[in-house]
Amino acid sequence: METQTKDKKKSNIGRGQVGSVKIADDVVGMIAALAALEVDGVSSMAGGVKSGVVGRISRARLGRCARALLNQSQVRVDLSVVMQYGYNIPATCGKVQARVKSAIENMTGLTVTGVNVRIAEISMPTPSGQD
């Protein structure tokens, strides 16, 4: 069962011993972004969200990088990432898709129906010896 609360979609994923469990789409998006940042070759999320600063940024900013679309117990995720120069884009995106799918399914119990990855930018390495 899906409910609408203050423009935040939530997925009712089950009933525990005491009550129901609902997960907001923002939470699923945050899981997706954090999982994507764990993949070698992903420099950051679009908008400058790097793994070291995720805890200090707003949900709205993170939501622009990873968007989860919930439909009962299923979810589709759209990500915008910045890739590091020199990495194979299709191979790295495949790793991102697998990591995101695994993280969401393991943490939430939702079924991931798709992980769409958009390469927003390529980060160029800085020349050594320059600050």
Q: What is the CATH number of the domain that holds 94?
A: 3.30.70.1350
Residue 106 lies in a domain: yes
20-24 and 8-15: which strand pairing? Answer: antiparallel
Number of structural domains found in the chain? 1
Residue 66 lies in a domain: yes
Q: What is the mean pLDDT of each run of 10 residues along the chain (131 residues)?
A: 44 68 88 93 78 50 78 93 95 98 96 96 78 51
Residue 11 lies in a domain: no
Distance CA 83, CA 107 (A): 25
Instruction: Give Cβ neighbours of residue 107 (< 8 Å, ≥ 6 apart).
Output: 31
The token duo for 31 is 């899981």
Q: How far is CA 39 from the centre of its chain?
A: 12
Residue 131 lies in a domain: no
pTM of the predicted structure, to 2 decimals:
0.76
Residue 129 lies in a domain: no
Residue 58 lies in a domain: yes
Domain of residue 30 covers: 18-123
